[in-house]
Chain A
């Protein structure tokens, strides 16, 4: 276990150096939330929240945080797939290191990206006039929850990165899955405006509960139920995708 931690940290550091050298790899956690916030606030804000763009921004921001942090996980699968394609993983796999270290290291390295995403999203929201209805602690708790959720969800991306043939395919598969998951819920509009059948699906969608928990923590209101659902989903994601990803990694030859 200590070996796993030591090797994972060394590999996480490798990924971070890569991020610093290749800042365009951060577009998805910096420019993307900015563009989404601006677009949705100014394009849909007027129509959705009866003319008040400020009210809509308050409603929108926790949703954007959940959505972009979910999309932020796409990169890890693409990067791992690229590493495999380039043979970098062959080198790691031929070393006497903890087997899971390259995957765990990549996930650990992703923490930095998610923290950056939270800072950019909330920072830009505040520039446009977003104000939390709660205190600093609650906002930090919201960020911690979003980051933790992303760290669980990104194992699905790791899994797809292990099984897909090309980096492009990884991107395609994940984006295709994330669009309905993040748009077909309460991210941009109240769930009560959705058709009945979609509301039923929404109740099961982990993103719905993450968005609900983030809204509660950032704007005020009940959070317990959504937080529990989110934690439950995080457990499910880990229980399903970590073993799948590790197995696919061992089999990928």
Chain B
């Protein structure tokens, strides 16, 4: 089996809204597929169809080799789902949440408890294991939710915006978990609103907007289309903007955008330029208040791909 996830022509309508308007998705077994798009693009709807929570109006979808419409029970045996909202029972402790899932998966009492213990250790929740989940912080809930989706060691894991609302450290932790899952042989479908997240984790990225696929490529391929990284510098003293601009322009061998609001931005080819830029600017005795290297934001990606800004739409219809 080449593809752990393979969907063709998925369509779904809610009233007058075409949540999905013919979406194709494919993830090779053991890879990470990043599904990138703004709120309301249809990401969650696609995940819900693939996870058997929702039936598509048209199109076919196979997960772990099973047709989600014809054999939803077999699909459920192979998947783990972590939603956008941490779906843990707040009144149960972290451990009880995990043991419950284990029992529902027919692990048997002892095996369910052992698996819960393993996951609590892995997700650094041992100290809080026997406290009700309602006392957990947002990041802990996310970890517990993710742990709950992994109780049955699923071959295919769906992560619907797993890092939305998490602070940068917690995001890095979550990324570590995704990499560990793939190392263990799982296939991961990850939805996200951040290009840097998709870039950091995904083997291939599908960009969707208004229920349609507008791009599908590897991260590098996508970055070639939408532009690579941008170096941004803000000198502390605005009178030194021109000087800074010259240094950065020479480094990047690219025309520098005319400074806006005291910052200079220039497209750069690779990470190594950042260190170089730091040294040169320091050598010139220019103090800076901002110096960063970043990938294009989702807005910029969409502007490049569609020629118009993202209309970040109201939350997708979940009910």
A contact residues vs B (CB 8 Å cutoff): 3, 6-7, 10-11, 13-14, 17-18, 21-22, 84-88, 90-97, 101, 165, 252-253
Contact = CB atoms under 8 A, between A and B. Distances in A.
Nearest to B99: A10
Contacts of B101: 91, 95
B104 interface: yes
B48 A253 contact: yes
Interface residues of B, number: 34
A7 B51 CA distance: 20
B89 A11 contact: no
B76 A90 contact: no
B92 to A, nearest CB: 6
Contact of A6 (B81, B86, B106): B106
A249 to B, nearest CB: 12
A189 B77 CA distance: 56
Contacts of B96: 14, 17
B105 A90 contact: no
Interface stretch (B52-60, B183-191, B240-248, B249-257): B52-60
B76 A94 contact: yes
Nearest to B151: A95
A96 B92 contact: no
A13 B90 CA distance: 15
Contacts of A86: 85, 87, 90
Given A94-B52, A94-B79, A96-B76, A88 B89 contact: yes
A88 B77 contact: no
6 contacts: A6-B106, A90-B53, A90-B83, A94-B79, A94-B81, A253-B48
Interface string B21-50: 000000000000000000000000000100
Nearest to B96: A17
Residue from A84, A91, A95 having most chain B Cβ neighbours under 10 A: A91
* Nearest 6 A/B pairs, CB to CB: A87-B87, A18-B91, A96-B76, A253-B54, A94-B81, A96-B77
A94 B156 CA distance: 12
A93 B319 CA distance: 14
Contacts of B54: 253
Given A90-B53, A90-B81, A90-B87, A96 B73 contact: yes
Contact of B92 (A18, A91, A252): A18
Contact of B91 (A21, A85, A94): A21
B34 to A, nearest CB: 21
A97 B319 CA distance: 21
B77 A14 contact: no
B149 A91 contact: yes
B229 to A, nearest CB: 36
B308 to A, nearest CB: 31
Given A84-B319, A87-B83, A94-B76, 11 more contacts: A14-B92, A14-B100, A17-B96, A90-B83, A91-B83, A91-B101, A94-B51, A94-B53, A97-B105, A165-B319, A253-B48
A88 to B, nearest CB: 5
A165 B319 CA distance: 8
B293 interface: no
B288 interface: no
Interface in B84-129: 85-92, 96, 100-101, 103-106
Contacts of A87: 83, 85-87
B227 interface: no
A3 B103 CA distance: 11
Contacts of B92: 14, 17-18, 21
B73 to A, nearest CB: 6
A3 to B, nearest CB: 8
Contacts of B132: 21
A2 to B, nearest CB: 11
B148 interface: yes
A226 to B, nearest CB: 39
A18 B90 CA distance: 9
A22 B132 CA distance: 11
A97 B106 CA distance: 9
Contacts of B48: 90, 253
Nearest to B90: A86
Contacts of B90: 86
B148 A91 contact: yes
Contacts of B106: 3, 6
A183 B73 CA distance: 46
B20 to A, nearest CB: 13
Nearest to A3: B106
A157 B149 CA distance: 29
Contacts of B88: 88
Residue from A3, A10, A96 having most chain B Cβ neighbours under 10 A: A96
Nearest to A9: B103
Nearest to A251: B55
Contact of A95 (B55, B89, B105, B319): B105
Given A18-B92, A95-B76, A96-B77, A10 B100 contact: yes
A22 B73 CA distance: 34
